[in-house]
Amino acid sequence: MRLNIHDSWKPYLEEEFSKPYFKSLVSFVKAEYKTHTCFPPKEQIFNAFNHCHFNDLKVVIIGQDPYHGLGQANGLCFSVNNGIAHPPSLINIFKEIENDLGIPYPKSGNLLRWADQGVLMLNATLTVRANEAGSHQKKGWETFTDAVIQLINTKKQGVVFLLWGGYAKRKKKLIDKSKNTILQTGHPSPLSANRGYWFGNKHFSKTNFQLEQAELKPILW
């Protein structure tokens, strides 16, 4: 696994990369990609960081695990590659944007366009074995991504953290809400959304309101 991560992050994460747990994680991931089919492709593992540079970061969306189906994962939580059918959670995200902002439902589920505007779409675990959900959990990725959240909280202010569902909400202990904004709601999965825990949250307009209050450019969702 090559640490092909954008230069803007390196000064803040070099210490993390040198820790024993991360070296063990790298060894594990290298072995997994050598002996099994894993996602996302190796060159896209750090896509969230490579498209959302540290200096540009305005919004953080926290996911849990990459998609484990062929051709789906591209290194951003909830995002899929162009031409791939939209998973149920992504469908509900786009429906909420449509209801919230009046933006028509898009053809592509590729969210690189958000990342390029300063939205860090961070899965807690950055890799997965094909067709085996959660297979790379508790190997060190969560330690790394928690450190990333703490780094952002320490070094930046005015960042909007979107915490969707129980897993993401547990990360709020890492965030100082006196300097950054936390918006939380249910997960966009059908199980949660169909029980009334997702639709109507208006997180996309609320996020843009917070950014405009800070005199930052809103996100074109």
**Is 65 noted as a catalytic residue in this protein?**
yes
Query: Which of the residues 56, 65, 116, 176 is marked catalytic?
Result: 65
SS3 track for the chain: CCCCCCCCCHHHHHHHHCCHHHHHHHHHHHHHHHHCCEECCHHHCCHHHHHCCHHHCCEEEEECCCCCCCCCCCCCCCCCCCCCCCCHHHHHHHHHHHHHHCCCCCCCCCCHHHHCCCEEEEECCCCEECCECCCCCCCCHHHHHHHHHHHHHHHCCCCEEEEECHHHHHHHHHCCCCCCEEEEECCCCHHHHCCCCCCCCCHHHHHHHHHHHCCCCCCCC
The set of catalytic residues is 65
